[in-house]
Amino acid sequence: MKKYILIILAICLMGCEDNIKAGTGSNNKNVTISKVIIDNELYYEDFDYMLTTLEQTYPFFGVLERSGIDYDEITLRYRSKLKDKQMTDVRFYHLVDNMLSELQYTGHIHIVDKNNYSYYENTNMLPWRDAAGTDQTKAFYETLILPQYPIKSSKSSANINTQAYDDISTVYIGINSFSYELIEEDYKTLTDYYKIAEHYDNIVIDIRSNGGGSTNYYIENIVQPLMNDKMYYQTHMLFNKDDHNLPFIIHKLGGNQRLIRG
């Protein structure tokens, strides 16, 4: 039986351990972890299950191809590493993490690290919480020990780059991230600069290197300050209609299955 897999728009790997004991009941607390080398056959099984699930649910293979990312070469190369007789759960975790990083975060595909696991475990988004809250997943993340690196605080001056070009009456604003944590502090920087931009004919907002983040950043810091009237828009979600994906998509649609077509 496969022990973990959770696909959102990203992929979130939820733990693997050969020596986990748990019943089928959701309230079963009889979970033990033994820190031993896991039979490599189980690593192959979990790795192949991940690839099969991606083939059925991941909608960005065309984007990878157009971006020059050779998915088949990457997955075959990392699968060959599973023959390592010293493979352990942490090594497998890093192997999958490194493989997904070569997909360059396309469609937000990534592994859920230990620091972010508690978000999915406690979220009010039920499909994610159900997947993160299994006994196996909890046991894995409780025992997972990863190197700790200092977290650098982000500053608006590093996130936003501005330049005025008087000869062509244009101001340039480059925004590197739409991170939720930067909404409040970047708001003042941007709105102050918008006042300067009022004296120019054009504004160029450059998000080519932006790693993404919160939609609220875009709405509160870009759209609302620059618009005089209310705007209405439609959102179209494109996804593979698979039984694995549907609970997550339906939840995102507020439970309204009638919005799903095709």
pLDDT digits (tens, 9 = 90+) for 20-43: 333 333 343 344 434 344 468 889
Q: What letter represents residue 200's amino acid? A: Y
Report the percentage of the chain scoring pLDDT > 90.
37
- State yes or no: pLDDT of 186 exceeds 50: yes
- State yes or no: pLDDT of 153 exceeds 70: no
| pLDDT given for residue 157 in this prediction | 54
Q: Report the chain's mean pLDDT, rounded to a whole number.
A: 79
**CA distances to 43, 50, 110, 133, 219 from 251, in Å:** 31, 22, 21, 17, 22
List the Cα angle 240/246/249 in 5-degree steps.
90
Average of per-residue pLDDT across 66-86 = 94
> Of 96, 6, 90, which Cα lies nearest the Cα of 44?
96
Report pLDDT digits (tens) over 121-137: 888 888 888 888 888 88
- State yes or no: pLDDT of 70 exceeds 90: yes
| pLDDT given for residue 39 in this prediction | 64
- State yes or no: pLDDT of 5 exceeds 60: no
Say which residue, 54 or 260, is predicted with more confidence: 54
Q: Which residues contact 2 (CB under 8 A, 6 or more apart)?
A: 45, 46, 49
Please give the structure tokens belonging to residue 245.
């994906």
| pLDDT given for residue 242 in this prediction | 77
| pLDDT given for residue 155 in this prediction | 41
3-state secondary structure (DSSP) of residue 95: helix
pLDDT band, residue 16 (cuts 50/70/90): very low
- State yes or no: pLDDT of 191 exceeds 50: yes
Question: What residue spans of the chain are helical by DSSP H?
Answer: 40-57, 61-66, 71-80, 89-101, 114-122, 126-132, 135-143, 156-159, 183-197, 215-218, 224-226, 246-252
> Where is average pLDDT lowest: 42-46, 203-207, 210-214?
210-214
pTM above 0.85, yes or no: no
- State yes or no: pLDDT of 67 exceeds 90: yes
